[in-house]
Amino acid sequence: MQEQTRIVGAEGHLVATFTPAQGAPGAVAPVVAVLSNSGVIPRGGPHRINVLLARELAAMGIPSVRFDMSGLGDSQRSNSTRSVTDQWVADTREVMDAAQAQFGCGRFFMVGLCSGAIIGHLVALEDQRMRAVLLWDMYAYPTLQSRLRKLAFKIGRAGLIGSAQKAGVMLLRKLRLMPPDDTPEKPKGEMSVSPPKAEFMGRVDRLTNQGVELLFAYCGGQPEWFNHRGQFAAMFAGQPWLPKVAFELLETTDHLITSGPAKRAFIDMTTGWVRERVVPAVSDRPALSSRQAN
């Protein structure tokens, strides 16, 4: 396997590493994997998960490209005046063009880690070459049970006495018997805010109607946000697309996939989904050029 890192894109500012599939030379791959940043983490991914994943996928006969979006990792900033989100969507499509030229395959799936998941599903809405997206720790919406579990978790973590003290402080602040907490709220970036649930559900509806495979995958390390297996079905209850998408909760994996067992679980989940859902879904559909894909 000979990986190749190159500078791509019309502005010549994006750095991408191409990993060819192992196997018969000249064989056309069924699909190409797109891997990218998680937050500000470079293209190698958190704890190098994208590098490991690229090598596992190559052994399965699937080539990949991992790249840094504008201003991240080794890629330079773009001269464009687009918003950050629009720029990163455009970057991804440019990298898909380069990968299509390199590997001769116009069918893609993206492993979107956190902010990468946001970009991945937005690309799929714009570009029909993106046939599947893994959405790792993307949006979650609270339900009654998730709120109760969050409360129980907080009480368990702080202990009964600690929880009673915190509740007391909150009450005193509410009654204005204590000065308010003047800790400045952290500014939220463009990527940190979930869209209204109805808007997001509409996007998923469009994607599933277009035949895009989606895997909603959550880590077990965010108990204040997504905290039990049933939350997924509960927060999207009644949606017609619910039976069409895949869902996984990796209980012992943290958001940044830190430990060896966590990495193994993530890789097994991803390769299993690719083998069972992505490859069969893309195999009977024609490849598109970037012009046809809009």
Asked if 42 and 72 count as a contact pair (C-beta separation under 8 A), the reply is yes
Q: Among 22, 56, 60, 76, which residue sits at the site for other proteins (rule: CB under 8 A)?
A: 76
Residue (41 or 105) nearer to other proteins, CB: 41
Closest distance between other proteins and the C-beta of residue 43, in Å?
7
Please list, residue by residue across 57-88, b when 16 or more beta carbons sit within 10 angstroms of its beta carbon and e when fewer do: bbebebbbbbbbbbbbbebbebeeeeebeebb
How many residues bind other proteins (CB under 8 A)? The answer is 36
Q: Which phi and psi (to 5°) does residue 181 adopt?
A: -70, 115
Asked if 145 and 166 count as a contact pair (C-beta separation under 8 A), the reply is no
- Considering the rule CB under 8 A, would residue 254 count as an interface residue with other proteins? yes
Element (H, E) at 136: strand 130-136
- Considering the rule CB under 8 A, would residue 17 count as an interface residue with other proteins? yes
- Considering the rule CB under 8 A, would residue 210 count as an interface residue with other proteins? no
- Considering the rule CB under 8 A, would residue 46 count as an interface residue with other proteins? yes
- Considering the rule CB under 8 A, would residue 220 count as an interface residue with other proteins? yes
Residue 13 DSSP symbol:
-
Closest distance between other proteins and the C-beta of residue 61, in Å?
19
Cβ-in-10-Å burial (0-12, 13-18, 19+) of 171 comes to exposed
- Considering the rule CB under 8 A, would residue 223 count as an interface residue with other proteins? yes
- Considering the rule CB under 8 A, would residue 149 count as an interface residue with other proteins? no
- Considering the rule CB under 8 A, would residue 289 count as an interface residue with other proteins? no
Closest distance between other proteins and the C-beta of residue 263, in Å?
8
Asked if 58 and 1 count as a contact pair (C-beta separation under 8 A), the reply is yes
C-alpha span between 158 and 164 (Å, rounded): 9
- Considering the rule CB under 8 A, would residue 23 count as an interface residue with other proteins? no
- Considering the rule CB under 8 A, would residue 261 count as an interface residue with other proteins? yes
Q: Which residues bind other proteins (CB under 8 A)?
A: 3-7, 15, 17, 40-44, 46-48, 51, 66, 73-74, 76, 157, 220-224, 251-252, 254-261
